[in-house]
Amino acid sequence: MRILIVNDDGVYSPGIRALAERARHFGEVRIVAPDVEQSSMGHAITHSRPLRYKKAEVGDFDAYKVNGTPADCVALGCHHWEQVDVVLSGINLGPNLGNSMWHSGTLAGAKQASLLGIRGIAFSLLSGYEAEDFERLAPHVDEVLEKVLRQYDYKLLNINFPPEPKGIMWTRQSVRQYDGAVIASEDPYKRPIYWCTVRALEPAEEGTDRHAIEEGYISITPLRLDLTHHADLESLVVKSGNATDSS
Protein backbone atom coordinates (compact mmCIF):
# COMPACT_ATOMS: atom_id res chain seq x y z
CA MET A 1 0.00 0.00 0.00
CA ARG A 2 1.36 3.44 -0.98
CA ILE A 3 0.69 5.95 1.77
CA LEU A 4 1.30 9.65 1.10
CA ILE A 5 1.51 11.76 4.25
CA VAL A 6 0.83 15.49 4.38
CA ASN A 7 -0.03 18.05 7.06
CA ASP A 8 -0.57 21.79 7.53
CA ASP A 9 1.84 22.35 10.43
CA GLY A 10 4.90 21.97 8.22
CA VAL A 11 7.20 19.09 7.30
CA TYR A 12 9.18 19.36 10.57
CA SER A 13 6.15 19.11 12.88
CA PRO A 14 6.34 16.32 15.50
CA GLY A 15 2.79 15.38 14.48
CA ILE A 16 3.64 14.33 10.91
CA ARG A 17 6.61 12.33 12.17
CA ALA A 18 4.36 10.57 14.72
CA LEU A 19 1.82 9.68 12.00
CA ALA A 20 4.51 8.46 9.59
CA GLU A 21 6.04 6.25 12.32
CA ARG A 22 2.71 4.46 12.79
CA ALA A 23 1.75 4.38 9.09
CA ARG A 24 4.99 2.69 8.00
CA HIS A 25 3.71 -0.54 9.62
CA PHE A 26 0.87 -0.56 7.07
CA GLY A 27 2.70 0.17 3.82
CA GLU A 28 5.23 2.22 1.89
CA VAL A 29 5.32 5.78 3.27
CA ARG A 30 6.32 9.07 1.67
CA ILE A 31 6.02 12.50 3.34
CA VAL A 32 5.24 15.58 1.23
CA ALA A 33 4.41 18.61 3.37
CA PRO A 34 4.58 22.42 3.45
CA ASP A 35 8.00 23.93 4.19
CA VAL A 36 6.40 26.29 6.74
CA GLU A 37 3.18 26.21 8.75
CA GLN A 38 -0.02 26.49 6.68
CA SER A 39 -2.62 26.03 9.42
CA SER A 40 -6.10 27.44 8.71
CA MET A 41 -5.27 27.94 5.03
CA GLY A 42 -8.16 25.69 4.08
CA HIS A 43 -8.19 24.22 0.59
CA ALA A 44 -6.16 27.00 -1.08
CA ILE A 45 -4.04 26.05 -4.07
CA THR A 46 -1.14 28.13 -5.37
CA HIS A 47 -1.49 29.32 -8.95
CA SER A 48 0.13 32.78 -9.02
CA ARG A 49 3.72 31.65 -8.42
CA PRO A 50 5.74 28.48 -9.13
CA LEU A 51 6.05 25.68 -6.58
CA ARG A 52 9.20 23.81 -5.62
CA TYR A 53 9.54 20.21 -4.48
CA LYS A 54 12.70 19.63 -2.42
CA LYS A 55 14.11 16.78 -0.34
CA ALA A 56 13.63 17.22 3.43
CA GLU A 57 15.35 15.57 6.39
CA VAL A 58 12.72 13.80 8.48
CA GLY A 59 14.38 10.86 10.25
CA ASP A 60 14.96 8.08 7.72
CA PHE A 61 11.72 8.87 5.85
CA ASP A 62 11.43 9.57 2.16
CA ALA A 63 10.38 13.20 2.70
CA TYR A 64 9.86 16.32 0.58
CA LYS A 65 8.95 19.92 1.36
CA VAL A 66 6.86 22.22 -0.84
CA ASN A 67 6.60 26.02 -0.67
CA GLY A 68 2.83 25.79 -0.83
CA THR A 69 -0.36 24.69 0.87
CA PRO A 70 -1.45 21.21 2.02
CA ALA A 71 -3.57 20.85 -1.15
CA ASP A 72 -0.50 21.78 -3.26
CA CYS A 73 1.51 19.11 -1.43
CA VAL A 74 -1.04 16.40 -2.23
CA ALA A 75 -1.16 17.50 -5.87
CA LEU A 76 2.66 17.44 -6.19
CA GLY A 77 2.95 14.30 -4.07
CA CYS A 78 0.60 12.37 -6.37
CA HIS A 79 2.30 13.86 -9.45
CA HIS A 80 5.70 12.51 -8.35
CA TRP A 81 4.49 9.20 -6.93
CA GLU A 82 2.12 7.14 -9.05
CA GLN A 83 -0.74 5.05 -7.72
CA VAL A 84 -0.97 6.43 -4.19
CA ASP A 85 -3.54 4.29 -2.34
CA VAL A 86 -4.35 6.65 0.51
CA VAL A 87 -3.42 10.14 1.74
CA LEU A 88 -3.09 10.66 5.49
CA SER A 89 -3.02 14.26 6.73
CA GLY A 90 -1.73 15.23 10.19
CA ILE A 91 -1.40 14.59 12.99
CA ASN A 92 -2.48 18.20 13.44
CA LEU A 93 -1.36 20.03 16.58
CA GLY A 94 -4.88 21.00 17.61
CA PRO A 95 -8.43 19.81 16.95
CA ASN A 96 -10.36 20.15 13.67
CA LEU A 97 -13.94 19.81 14.83
CA GLY A 98 -17.28 21.23 13.72
CA ASN A 99 -16.96 24.52 11.88
CA SER A 100 -13.14 24.30 11.88
CA MET A 101 -13.49 21.86 8.98
CA TRP A 102 -14.18 24.87 6.75
CA HIS A 103 -10.75 26.42 7.25
CA SER A 104 -8.69 23.39 8.25
CA GLY A 105 -5.56 22.88 6.15
CA THR A 106 -5.23 19.38 7.61
CA LEU A 107 -8.62 18.33 6.32
CA ALA A 108 -7.91 20.08 2.99
CA GLY A 109 -5.01 17.67 2.46
CA ALA A 110 -7.44 14.75 2.76
CA LYS A 111 -10.07 16.55 0.64
CA GLN A 112 -7.55 17.14 -2.15
CA ALA A 113 -6.89 13.39 -2.19
CA SER A 114 -10.62 12.77 -2.43
CA LEU A 115 -10.87 15.20 -5.38
CA LEU A 116 -8.16 13.14 -7.12
CA GLY A 117 -10.16 9.95 -6.50
CA ILE A 118 -7.89 8.74 -3.67
CA ARG A 119 -9.00 7.93 -0.12
CA GLY A 120 -8.18 10.78 2.27
CA ILE A 121 -8.01 10.76 6.06
CA ALA A 122 -7.34 13.75 8.33
CA PHE A 123 -5.92 13.27 11.86
CA SER A 124 -5.98 15.92 14.58
CA LEU A 125 -5.07 15.89 18.26
CA LEU A 126 -6.50 17.87 21.16
CA SER A 127 -3.65 17.52 23.66
CA GLY A 128 -0.10 18.48 24.48
CA TYR A 129 2.27 18.00 21.57
CA GLU A 130 5.44 16.69 23.18
CA ALA A 131 7.07 13.37 22.22
CA GLU A 132 5.43 11.64 25.20
CA ASP A 133 1.96 12.79 24.09
CA PHE A 134 2.47 11.09 20.72
CA GLU A 135 3.94 8.00 22.40
CA ARG A 136 0.84 7.73 24.59
CA LEU A 137 -1.35 8.14 21.52
CA ALA A 138 0.52 5.58 19.36
CA PRO A 139 -1.55 2.48 20.24
CA HIS A 140 -4.74 4.44 19.54
CA VAL A 141 -3.41 5.61 16.17
CA ASP A 142 -2.53 1.97 15.39
CA GLU A 143 -6.04 0.83 16.29
CA VAL A 144 -7.61 3.52 14.08
CA LEU A 145 -5.23 2.83 11.16
CA GLU A 146 -5.99 -0.89 11.39
CA LYS A 147 -9.70 -0.09 11.01
CA VAL A 148 -9.56 2.64 8.38
CA LEU A 149 -6.79 1.16 6.21
CA ARG A 150 -7.77 -2.49 6.36
CA GLN A 151 -11.40 -2.94 7.41
CA TYR A 152 -13.73 -0.18 6.28
CA ASP A 153 -14.99 1.30 3.04
CA TYR A 154 -15.23 5.11 2.75
CA LYS A 155 -13.81 8.00 0.74
CA LEU A 156 -13.02 10.83 3.16
CA LEU A 157 -12.67 10.78 6.96
CA ASN A 158 -12.04 13.45 9.58
CA ILE A 159 -10.56 11.96 12.76
CA ASN A 160 -9.92 13.77 16.05
CA PHE A 161 -8.18 12.33 19.11
CA PRO A 162 -8.80 13.47 22.70
CA PRO A 163 -5.77 13.48 25.06
CA GLU A 164 -6.59 10.04 26.54
CA PRO A 165 -9.05 8.16 24.32
CA LYS A 166 -11.68 5.85 25.88
CA GLY A 167 -12.72 4.38 22.54
CA ILE A 168 -13.94 5.26 19.05
CA MET A 169 -17.21 6.98 18.13
CA TRP A 170 -18.63 7.44 14.60
CA THR A 171 -19.89 10.99 14.45
CA ARG A 172 -21.41 13.74 12.32
CA GLN A 173 -20.07 17.27 11.98
CA SER A 174 -21.30 19.78 14.55
CA VAL A 175 -22.27 22.95 12.67
CA ARG A 176 -23.74 25.02 15.48
CA GLN A 177 -23.11 28.72 15.40
CA TYR A 178 -19.72 30.18 16.22
CA ASP A 179 -18.99 33.74 17.28
CA GLY A 180 -16.15 34.39 14.83
CA ALA A 181 -14.94 37.16 17.16
CA VAL A 182 -12.00 39.34 16.16
CA ILE A 183 -9.66 40.15 19.06
CA ALA A 184 -7.97 43.54 18.66
CA SER A 185 -4.59 44.27 20.21
CA GLU A 186 -1.43 46.19 19.33
CA ASP A 187 2.12 45.30 18.36
CA PRO A 188 5.24 46.57 20.26
CA TYR A 189 5.19 49.68 18.03
CA LYS A 190 1.60 50.48 19.11
CA ARG A 191 0.21 49.58 15.69
CA PRO A 192 -3.18 47.78 15.72
CA ILE A 193 -3.18 44.01 15.15
CA TYR A 194 -6.01 41.46 15.10
CA TRP A 195 -6.57 37.75 15.88
CA CYS A 196 -9.48 35.77 14.40
CA THR A 197 -11.13 33.26 16.76
CA VAL A 198 -13.64 30.43 16.25
CA ARG A 199 -15.28 29.93 19.65
CA ALA A 200 -18.47 27.83 19.71
CA LEU A 201 -21.54 29.71 20.98
CA GLU A 202 -23.59 26.63 21.83
CA PRO A 203 -22.79 23.33 23.56
CA ALA A 204 -22.14 20.32 21.32
CA GLU A 205 -25.13 18.13 20.43
CA GLU A 206 -25.07 14.35 20.91
CA GLY A 207 -23.76 12.31 18.00
CA THR A 208 -21.38 15.04 16.83
CA ASP A 209 -17.61 15.23 16.61
CA ARG A 210 -17.39 17.92 19.30
CA HIS A 211 -19.53 15.89 21.69
CA ALA A 212 -17.45 12.73 21.22
CA ILE A 213 -14.22 14.58 22.02
CA GLU A 214 -15.80 16.21 25.08
CA GLU A 215 -16.75 12.71 26.28
CA GLY A 216 -13.19 11.46 25.75
CA TYR A 217 -13.75 9.43 22.56
CA ILE A 218 -11.90 9.41 19.26
CA SER A 219 -14.27 11.01 16.75
CA ILE A 220 -14.43 9.65 13.18
CA THR A 221 -16.66 11.59 10.77
CA PRO A 222 -17.22 10.32 7.23
CA LEU A 223 -17.44 13.30 4.84
CA ARG A 224 -18.36 13.96 1.22
CA LEU A 225 -17.31 16.63 -1.26
CA ASP A 226 -20.83 17.39 -2.52
CA LEU A 227 -21.92 20.59 -0.71
CA THR A 228 -25.37 20.62 -2.36
CA HIS A 229 -28.27 21.07 0.06
CA HIS A 230 -30.40 18.34 -1.47
CA ALA A 231 -33.61 19.11 0.48
CA ASP A 232 -33.44 22.82 -0.49
CA LEU A 233 -32.72 21.90 -4.10
CA GLU A 234 -35.75 19.63 -4.19
CA SER A 235 -38.11 22.20 -2.67
CA LEU A 236 -36.80 24.97 -4.98
CA VAL A 237 -37.35 22.78 -8.03
CA VAL A 238 -40.84 21.86 -6.81
CA LYS A 239 -41.74 25.53 -6.18
CA SER A 240 -40.28 27.10 -9.30
CA GLY A 241 -39.82 24.23 -11.70
CA ASN A 242 -36.50 23.61 -13.37
CA ALA A 243 -35.02 25.06 -16.55
CA THR A 244 -37.63 27.85 -16.44
CA ASP A 245 -37.56 30.27 -19.33
CA SER A 246 -37.08 33.82 -17.97
CA SER A 247 -37.78 35.58 -21.28
Q: Which residues bind Mn ion (CB under 5 A)?
A: 8-9, 39, 92
Q: In what order do the strands lie in the sheet with 53-56?
A: 53-56, 62-66, 28-34, 2-6, 86-93, 119-125, 156-161, 218-223, 168-170
Asked if 144 contacts 82 with a C-beta cutoff of 8 angstroms, the reply is no
Choice between 8 and 133, CB closer to Mn ion: 8
Choice between 4 and 93, CB closer to Mn ion: 93
Choice between 93 and 148, CB closer to Mn ion: 93
Smallest gap from residue 146 Cβ to Mn ion (A): 25
Choice between 26 and 87, CB closer to Mn ion: 87
Pairing of strands 218-223, 192-196: unpaired
Smallest gap from residue 45 Cβ to Mn ion (A): 17
Residue burial 55-78, b: 16+ Cβ < 10 Å; e: rest: ebebeebebbbbbbbbbbbbbbbb
The Cα–Cα gap between 234 and 220 comes to: 29
Pairing of strands 62-66, 53-56: antiparallel
DSSP H or E stretch at residue 111: helix 105-115
Choice between 106 and 174, CB closer to Mn ion: 106
- Which residue sits closest to Mn ion, CB atoms considered? 39
Smallest gap from residue 179 Cβ to Mn ion (A): 21
Asked if 186 contacts 237 with a C-beta cutoff of 8 angstroms, the reply is no
Choice between 125 and 218, CB closer to Mn ion: 125
Smallest gap from residue 12 Cβ to Mn ion (A): 13
Smallest gap from residue 92 Cβ to Mn ion (A): 4
Smallest gap from residue 223 Cβ to Mn ion (A): 18
Calculate ∠ Cα 144-118-233, nearest 5°.
Answer: 100
